[in-house]
Amino acid sequence: MAADAPDRAEIDTQRALCEAQPSMTALWNTLARMLIAADRPAEAMAAATAALAGAPGDATALNLRSAAEDAHAAVELRLRTLERAAAFDPGNAALQLELGETYADLDRPADAQRCLQQALRLSPGLVSAEARLAAVYLSVDIEAGAEHHALRALALQPGHIVASQTLAVVLERRGEGDAARALMARAYSRQSLFAQPAAESRMTVLVLASIESGNIPYRHLMPAQHYSRLIWYMEHAQPGDLARAGDFDLVFNTIGDPDLAGPSAGSVRAFLAGNAKPLLNDPALVMRTHRHEIPRLLGDIPGVVAPAAARAPAEEAGRLGLAGAAARHGLALPLLVRPVGSHGGKGLHRVQTEADWASIPALQGDVYLTCYHDYRSADGRWRKGRVIFVDGRPFPYHFAVADDWMVHYESAGMVGAADRLAEEARFLEDPAAVIGETGWAAIGEIGRRLGLHYGGVDFAPLADGRILVFEANATMLVHPEDPDGPLAYKNPAVQRIIDAFQAMLERMAQRD
């Protein structure tokens, strides 16, 4: 799996969303897409089938199921070849290992277990077989077996990444979160830099990343076929890492969430102090994008509404309560409350009356408090757009129209609503015509003010022509849509962003 493909935690989170809202076809489609990217075609087929159960004939789900079936067929073909080879050479441990891995890819855990155990009988101490067997046991929730074989793999090769990830999941499920994080820290301390050479490489990019979430998703911006990537997890970076990795053309700082950048900040500063290569997304600019800093950074731009916000430390919120903390920072109701570092609406609460404070569950860590600005349109719906900035230049990416104030594209009900899709298509073609010249000019100035090589803004158009800023930062996802699906009209806009980003890489690499 590529380093920026969805990891197990991301997939598990999406699966939980699907199970909580089983009739939401868009959520199942997202899960199917993630599973295809993670080379798990059998599970992707199941997710697409679940999407179709809620919306028979949904074009996106049909296309995703077809793509999963194609991927599944390719793995099946490889399986038949391996089965024939193993029959002719039954004592070959490497063949048994590859056969077991292929069975696992096809979601056939019993066959995978049989072959992997045979590989270990033929070659005791085969660390790859121990690690994959641990993952197979975890996939069927046999946590004792997963732990046993992960520990065996780690005894053979301390810090083995796959074994460490598997054991970390077991520990997390057991409520031993600190132990899980310590385990992964030890794994990355042994190897923090991973090379991903491209088959048709245009350049080599050193990617500064964090083991935390909050990295910029770059898989579609720098496709693996054309961009060799050196992924360097900066919490555990060592000065000698780069000497072993070889040369690179430029540096892309993908650590885009200022709330999660602290553990890696020292290593990033130390590296950049001696770096002579072109740098995308200076960390100093990223650090200006905390939610509570946005009003000060962008609030004076004509046409921008950036509601007052504050960051309440955990100690303050615990001592004064959330209502007391809001009062201390001079913030009046209605307010939005969310844990620092959360995204996608996770842990987000709207407080409209004093009685609402009591309904908020205990929140861990620091908390953001933001004044709520009503942005409902005249037709009773809520709208949220996203614009991506490449080297300061604005590119429209999406425009969601929803029936609820908490707008997320995946759950906004866009697919199947012709009028909403048509409105988004108009926005992608001519954003100023949809949100007004004042709003579009304000967005352009936001891009200049941010100063990032790559970033974006989520916003709502207001009735008076201004725009309401929700967030503006570097961690903005861009991905193409199914070319045969109902959102295919978005792809020309997506491609313009990708083309602009890659042209920027070429320009910057030539400055070296």
Between 218 and 60, the more confident residue is: 218
DSSP notation for 133-198: HHHHHHHTT-HHHHHHHHHHHHHHSTT-HHHHHHHHHHHHHTT-HHHHHHHHHHHHHH--EEEE--
Angle (CA) 445-447-453 rounded to 5° is 150
Return the exposure string of 383-404: e unless at least 16 CB atoms fall within 10 Å of the residue's CB, then b: bbbbbbbbbbebbbbbbbbbee
Q: What pLDDT band is residue 10 in, cutting at 50, 70 and 90? A: low
pLDDT for residue 191: 85
Q: In what order do the strands lie in the sheet with 309-312?
A: 309-312, 367-371, 335-339, 349-351
Over residues 484-504, the mean pLDDT reads: 94
* The residue to which tokens 């609030």 are assigned: 299
Residue ranges of the domains in the chain? 8-189, 193-283, 308-371, 382-511
Of 19, 485, 475, the closest CA to residue 258 belongs to: 475
- Residue range 8-189 forms a domain whose CATH class is mainly alpha
CATH number at 382-511: 3.30.470
Between 484 and 91, the more confident residue is: 91
On the question of a common fold for 308-371 and 382-511, the answer reads: no
- The CA distance from 104 to 128, in Å, is 13
Q: What pLDDT band is residue 496 in, cutting at 50, 70 and 90? A: very high
Over residues 49-77, the mean pLDDT reads: 83
Q: Is the pLDDT of residue 184 over 90?
A: no
Of 448, 444, 449, 465, the closest CA to residue 387 belongs to: 444
Q: Is the pLDDT of residue 2 over 60?
A: no
Angle (CA) 3-5-10 rounded to 5° is 110
- Residue range 308-371 forms a domain whose CATH class is alpha beta
Amino acid code (one letter) for 352: Q
Model confidence pLDDT, tens digit, residues 162-176: 899 899 989 988 989
Do the Cβ atoms of 250 and 276 come closer than 8 Å?
A: no
Model confidence pLDDT, tens digit, residues 354-413: 999 998 988 889 999 999 999 999 999 999 999 999 999 999 999 999 999 999 887 888
Contacts of 129 (CB under 8 A, 6+ apart): 93, 96, 97, 100, 116, 119, 120, 123
- The CA distance from 18 to 105, in Å, is 22
The DSSP output letter for 266 is H
